[in-house]
Amino acid sequence: QPLIELREVTKSYDSPEGRTTPLKEVSAVIPPESVIALMGPSGTGKSTLFRLLNRLEDPDHGSITYKGKPLSEWDPILLRREVHYVFQSAVLFPKTVADNLNYPLKLQGKSMSEEEMARLLERVGLSKSYLTRSIEKLSGGEKQRVHLARSLSLNPHVLLLDEPTASLDPESTERIEQEMRCYREKGHTVLWITHQPEQARRIADQVWHLESGHLRQEEMKR
C-alpha cells in the first residue's frame, strides 16, 4: 500500500497578475520507507505540494490520501505530527539551543534530558557545547541544523524538508544526508527539496521534477 497517494491534484492561485497553476492534475505515489528528491526551478510549486501534504492548504481538485485515508478526513493537528514540514526559514526563539530543542516536547508535557538533546544535536553534526549557546549568535546553517534537530525530536513518520542543506558546507551536508538515510532505514519517509542533481542522486529512491504544473518521475537504481 502506498504511504501517500496523489490523484489528479490541481492547485491554482489568483493574483493581480493573473492565475498560476503550480499543480495540474498531478498523480503520484509515495511508497513507505523512501526518500524522494523534489526538484524544479523556483516558483514551480514545490512548497505548494508540501503545504497540501501538510494540510496547510487543500487542493482545488483531486485527492490526497495518507495511510489510505483522505487527508480531508485527517485531523490537521494529528496529521502534522506524522507529516512534518521543516520550513526553510527556521522559526526559532531568541533563547538557547536547549530551550528551542525542548519546546515541542514541553508543549506535550514531556521533557528531554541533556543527553537526549546532545544526541539530537549529534545527528545533525553539532556538538553538545551548542546546547547553552543562544540562537541569535548562530550562523544560518547552524540555525537550520538546530531546526532540523528540533523536528527530529518529534520523530515524525514523514519529513518534508525544504533545502535543508542549502547553507551548509560539504561535511555538514554529508552528515545530514547520512542521517536521512538512517531515518529511512528506521522506516520513515523523506521528501527533500533540492536544486542539486548530484545530491538528488545520492539521497533519493525517486527524483520528482516539477515543471509547468506537471510531475516527471525518475526512478533511481540502488
- To the nearest whole angstrom, how small is the minimum distance from the Cβ of residue 21 to ligand ADP? 8
**Where in the chain does DSSP place strands (E)?**
4-15, 18-30, 35-39, 61-66, 69-70, 83-86, 158-162, 189-193, 206-211, 214-219
What phi and psi values does residue 43 have, to the nearest 5 degrees?
80, 20
User: C-alpha distances in angstroms, 87 versus 1, 29, 40, 144?
Assistant: 28, 23, 17, 9
- To the nearest whole angstrom, how small is the minimum distance from the Cβ of residue 221 to ligand ADP? 26
Give dist(CA 67, CA 170) in Å, integer: 35
User: C-alpha distances in angstroms, 5 versus 80, 91, 96, 163, 167?
Assistant: 17, 29, 39, 23, 31
- To the nearest whole angstrom, how small is the minimum distance from the Cβ of residue 58 to ligand ADP? 13
> 44 vs 102, which CB is nearer to ligand ADP?
44
Query: Please, is 103 exposed, middle or buried when counting C-beta atoms within 10 Å of its C-beta (0-12, 13-18, 19+)?
Result: middle
Give dist(CA 147, CA 143) in Å, integer: 6
> 118 vs 215, which CB is nearer to ligand ADP?
215
- To the nearest whole angstrom, how small is the minimum distance from the Cβ of residue 119 to ligand ADP? 26
> 56 vs 182, which CB is nearer to ligand ADP?
56
- To the nearest whole angstrom, how small is the minimum distance from the Cβ of residue 95 to ligand ADP? 19
> 45 vs 59, which CB is nearer to ligand ADP?
45
Contact set with ligand ADP (CB under 6 A): 13, 15, 20, 22, 40, 42-48, 51, 56, 87-89, 162
> 131 vs 165, which CB is nearer to ligand ADP?
165
